[in-house]
């Protein structure tokens, strides 16, 4: 059984004295339903579960009045054995994007306050804008992803105590002993090859078989392509699929992996494809890193709407777009060419995005200065460089020297810890500590 951080978040939500209905939003197959059901079974006397995709007739419960008493009456008619005791029953409305009125009803569950209600869905970003009255102000939201790197470490038997010890080397800016360092670097490479989709990770935990991992990765990738075909409008589905399947070519082996429409289709332009990228973002299938014209707070004010990089929502999908042999190259660290740097940048984006950071990058064509990532925390700008080896970071050095808004920069490398000129050099696996 995989340990997930959402378990703590759900318990924190339950323990609030006055709570709103909860929406767990996330891409397909990231573990939303499993986590919510496990939580309900552990902390409530009764779990009342409705899946609108599995049981389309459940929509009928929401076709009339949406007051709580009416809805509870309808539920009991549908499931005669349900007790639905206030304060002791968790009501779960899964795949709620299939029922607009159920989304609207979340407002009334919150106002009533007798029942704890969790809604979830894999296409909420696509569908909730069509709801007759989205319950703004009456819901709390949790964004869920596949396993992040720390959760992946838990799955491999590396507990929080061990991770905390390694964090101590990061905080104290001290070299990590070779035995520990080599173990964590091997785990980082393994995460790069496997990614964080729960079914994939659990398969590896049980079988240690990379062929099974590859098969499941490709099945999930095909499932995402099916979702694009199923949920996207007729005019978007082919364009969205082309954008998505171009990402391996866009990101790996290129010196400057900014998204280029010409890689989607010969002569491709933003006018044709940008709406498809927006659809993929709303469907939680991709996320973006935006170029900035100046490295000053707030970076959003200096970000570009036309220059950006696009990443898959979990690194496993990017790996599944390439030949099976790439997994062996990753795990054995036997890359040739530029692919290694491109993959490690994508893993860094995966880890940072799953921590909730909005991503930016900097590239100046005149000065040739560039930074792989810029994030913001507590009003400060944090520059981050990713190196597949342990080469110098000339751009990072130059930018820190000239900027008054940056106190420290990070260079993550295939190497050990060091600190010089306000730049902390750290192993790639320490990205999780930013």
- Both structure tokens of 180: 């520990």
Q: What is residue 311's DSSP assignment?
A: E
- Domain end (from 123, 144, 165): 144
- Both structure tokens of 268: 């491709």
**319 domain-assigned:** yes
Quick one: how many helices (H) and strands (E) in the chain?
17, 13
Whether 399 and 361 share a structural domain: yes
Residue with tokens 């990089």: 309
pLDDT (0 to 100) of residue 128: 45
Sheet holding 21-26, edge to edge: 46-51, 89-94, 116-121, 21-26, 139-144
**Which domain does 34 fall in, by range?**
6-144
CA 16 to mean position of chain CA atoms: 26
Cβ within 8 Å of residue 360, ≥6 positions away: 289, 290, 291, 292, 299, 303, 373, 374, 375
**419 domain-assigned:** yes
**59 domain-assigned:** yes
Whether 404 and 337 share a structural domain: yes
Whether 77 and 10 share a structural domain: yes
pLDDT (0 to 100) of residue 277: 96
Residue with tokens 């709620």: 96
Rounded-to-10 torsion of CA 97, 102, 104, 106: -110
- Both structure tokens of 178: 């070779």
Whether 295 and 428 share a structural domain: yes
Number of domains in the chain: 2
The pTM score is 0.94
pLDDT (0 to 100) of residue 132: 55
Contact between 367 and 332 under an 8 Å Cβ cutoff? The reply is no
**332 domain-assigned:** yes
Whether 136 and 28 share a structural domain: yes
Whether 381 and 321 share a structural domain: yes
**100 domain-assigned:** yes
Give the integer Cα–Cα distance in Å for 225 and 244.
9
Whether 180 and 261 share a structural domain: yes
Whether 164 and 117 share a structural domain: no
Whether 52 and 99 share a structural domain: yes
pLDDT (0 to 100) of residue 129: 47
Whether 382 and 294 share a structural domain: yes
**1 domain-assigned:** no
- Domain end (from 85, 111, 144): 144
**231 domain-assigned:** yes
> What is the DSSP pairing of strand 303-312 with strand 370-377?
unpaired
Whether 100 and 183 share a structural domain: no
pLDDT (0 to 100) of residue 127: 56
Whether 160 and 123 share a structural domain: no
- Domain end (from 96, 127, 144): 144
Question: CATH number of the domain that 122 lies in?
Answer: 3.40.50.300
> Quick check: helix, strand or coil at residue 58?
helix
Per-residue pLDDT of the chain (434 residues; tens, 9 = 90+): 899 999 999 999 999 999 999 999 999 999 999 999 999 999 999 999 999 999 999 999 999 999 999 999 999 999 989 999 999 999 999 999 999 999 999 999 999 999 999 999 988 887 544 545 689 899 999 999 999 999 999 999 999 999 999 999 999 999 999 999 999 999 999 999 999 999 999 999 999 999 999 999 999 999 999 999 998 999 999 999 999 999 999 998 777 789 999 999 999 999 999 999 999 999 999 999 999 999 999 999 999 999 999 999 999 999 999 999 999 999 999 987 678 889 999 999 999 999 999 999 999 888 888 999 999 988 899 999 999 877 777 889 888 888 877 889 999 999 999 999 899 999 999 999 99
Contact between 110 and 21 under an 8 Å Cβ cutoff? The reply is yes
């Amino acid at each position: 059984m995989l340990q997930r951080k959402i378990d703590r978040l759900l318990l924190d939500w339950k323990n609030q004295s006055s709570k709103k209905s909860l929406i767990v939003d996330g891409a397909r197959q990231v573990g939303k339903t499993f986590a919510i059901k496990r939580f309900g079974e552990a902390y409530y006397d009764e779990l009342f579960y409705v899946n609108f995709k599995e049981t389309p007739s459940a929509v009928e419960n929401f076709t009339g009045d949406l007051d709580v008493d009416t809805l509870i009456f309808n539920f009991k008619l549908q499931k005669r054995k349900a007790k639905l005791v206030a304060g002791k029953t968790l009501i779960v409305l899964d795949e709620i994007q299939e029922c607009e009125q159920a989304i609207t009803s979340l407002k009334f569950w919150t106002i009533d306050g007798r029942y704890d209600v969790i809604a979830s869905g894999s296409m909420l970003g696509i569908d909730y804008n069509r709801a007759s009255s989205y319950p703004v102000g009456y819901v709390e939201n949790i964004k869920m992803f596949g396993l992040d790197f720390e959760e992946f470490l838990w799955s491999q038997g590396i507990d929080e105590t061990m991770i905390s010890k390694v964090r101590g080397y990061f905080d104290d800016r001290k070299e990590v002993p070779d035995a520990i360092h080599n173990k964590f670097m091997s785990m980082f490479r393994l995460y790069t090859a496997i990614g964080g989709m729960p079914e994939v990770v659990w398969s590896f935990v049980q079988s240690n078989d990379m062929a099974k991992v590859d098969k499941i990765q490709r099945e999930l990738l095909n499932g995402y392509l099916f979702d694009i075909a199923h949920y996207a409008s007729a005019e978007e589905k082919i364009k969205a699929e082309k954008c998505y399947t171009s990402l391996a070519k866009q990101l790996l082996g290129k010196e400057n992996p900014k998204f280029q429409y010409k890689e989607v289709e010969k002569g491709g332009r933003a006018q044709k494809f940008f709406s498809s990228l927006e659809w993929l973002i709303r469907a939680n299938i991709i996320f973006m890193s935006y170029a900035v014209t100046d490295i000053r707070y707030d970076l959003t004010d200096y970000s570009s709407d036309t220059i950006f990089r696009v990443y898959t929502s979990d690194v496993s999908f990017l790996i599944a777009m390439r030949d099976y042999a790439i997994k062996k190259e990753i795990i054995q660290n036997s890359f040739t060419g530029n692919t290694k740097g491109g993959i490690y940048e994508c893993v860094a984006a995966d880890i940072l995005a799953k921590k909730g950071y909005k991503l930016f990058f900097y590239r100046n064509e005149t000065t040739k200065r560039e930074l792989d990532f810029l994030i913001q925390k507590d009003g400060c700008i944090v520059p981050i460089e990713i190196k597949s080896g342990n080469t110098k970071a000339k751009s990072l050095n130059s930018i820190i020297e000239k900027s008054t808004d940056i106190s420290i920069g990070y260079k993550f490398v295939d190497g050990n810890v060091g600190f010089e000129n306000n730049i902390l050099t750290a192993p790639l696996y320490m990205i999780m500590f930013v």
